[in-house]
Amino acid sequence: IYSLCIEQHPLNICFRAPQASQTPTPTHLQNALFGMGNPLLDICAVVDKDFLDKYGLKPNDQILAEEKHKEMFEEIVKKFKVEYHAGGATQNSVKVAQWMIQEPHKVATFFGCIGKDKFGKILKEKAEEAHVDAHYYEQSQEPTGTCAACITGDNRSLIANLAAANCYKKEKHLDLAENWKLVEKAQVYYIAGFFLTVSLESILKVAKHASQNNKIFCLNLSAPFICEFFKEALMKVMPYVDILFGNETEAATFAREQGFETEDIEEIAKKAQSLPKENKKRQRIVVFTQGKEGTVMTKGDKVETFPVLEIDQSEMVDTNGAGDAFVGGFLSQLVQDKTFEQCIRAGHYAANVIIRHAGCTFPEKPDFH
C-alpha cells in the first residue's frame, strides 16, 4: 500500500521500453526488477461510517498512524471480520509484476525492514509464496509494520503504522556487498514515495546507480501528504526519475505544491515531465491514473489518455491495492522490453483483476495476452 531500459540513442523517443540486443531468456529476467519500500501486514475490513468518524478518517485517504489511531488496530480486529495480506505499496507492486510474469520465479527483488516476530514470519512466508526474492533487514527494536485498510463501499481509507518499516538502514543492509549485487543485477527500479519518509539516502543511492548506468528508475507520488510534507525529499529524487506514477489526487496536490498553477491533469503531466532530469538519454514518462477515468501518459511533447477496462459495479469487491496493481502490471511488461502502450494495457488488466478481489490479492494465474 505504502501501499523501468538498456542503452538507447540519446532522446530517441519512440515510446518503446528499450530493446535489449537480444530477447532475454527467462533466466535473464531473474532479479531484473528491484523494489525497495515499507513491508506491511495489511489488516483489511469492511467498516462503517461511525468507525471512520470515531478516528477522524476520510473515506478515501492514506495516512500514517498517530497516537489517536493506536487503539484502532485492536478495535478493527475485535469489531469487524478482518483478512490479513502481505502488503506495503512497493511490495504489492512487485508481487503483482511477478504474478503477471509467472515464470521464472524471483524476477523481483524486494528490500525493506521487518521485526523478528510473528507478523514478520508471516510476511516472509507470503513473499515466498508470491515467488518474490525478498531480502528483509530484520531487527528487534520495533515490531513488523501493519496497515489497516478500512473499506466503505468502493472507498478505502489506509492507516499505516510503519513500526519496523521505519527502521531501514542503508549502511546495515543496502550497502552490504551481497545486497548491493542484487541492486546492480536489476534493470528496472521501482520505489513508492512512501519510502521517502524512511530512507532518502537509500533511494538516492539506487536512483543514482540507475541514472549513471542508463537503467530505468520509477517513483510513485503515493499520497498527497508525500507531495506536501516530504516535498524537499521528493524533489531531491525527481532528477533521477525516468517514470513517474501517481493518481489524480496526488497529481493535483503535487501541482499545487510545485506552483504549476493548473488543475488540468494533462498540463500537470507535461509540467512534471519537464522538471530537471539527470539522465538526458531518455525523456521522462509521466503516468497518472484516474480511477475509472482514463489513464494519462506523456508521449514526447503530447499527452495521451488510455481508457480503463470497464467493470460492472456489482463485480467490484474493493479498490484497495488497485493503484499498486496497475504499477505491477506496468512493470511486468516494462521489464520485458514491451512498448509503453502494452505496459499501460497490462496495468489496466492487473488493476481490473485486483478490484474484483479483497485487498491486493489475485487468482492463481493471469489471463493477459
Q: Kindly list the catalytic residues.
A: 324
Q: Are 188 and 4 in contact (CB under 8 A)?
A: yes
Evaluate whether 252 touches 277 at the Cβ level (below 8 Å): no
d(Cα 298, Cα 343) in Å, to the nearest integer? 13
E strand or H helix that includes residue 290 = strand 285-290
d(CA 192, CA 199): 12
CB 112 within 8 Å of CB 37: yes
31: left (phi over 0), alpha (psi -120 to 50) or beta: left
User: How many Cβ atoms from other residues are within 10 Å of residue 11's Cβ?
Assistant: 10
Parallel, antiparallel, or unpaired: how do β-strands 108-115 and 33-36 relate? parallel
Residue 234's CB: how many other CB atoms inside 10 A? Answer: 23
Q: How many helices (H) and strands (E) does the chain have?
A: 12, 14
Cα dihedral 260, 262, 268, 273 sign:
negative
* Rounded Cα gap, residues 185 and 193, in angstroms: 23
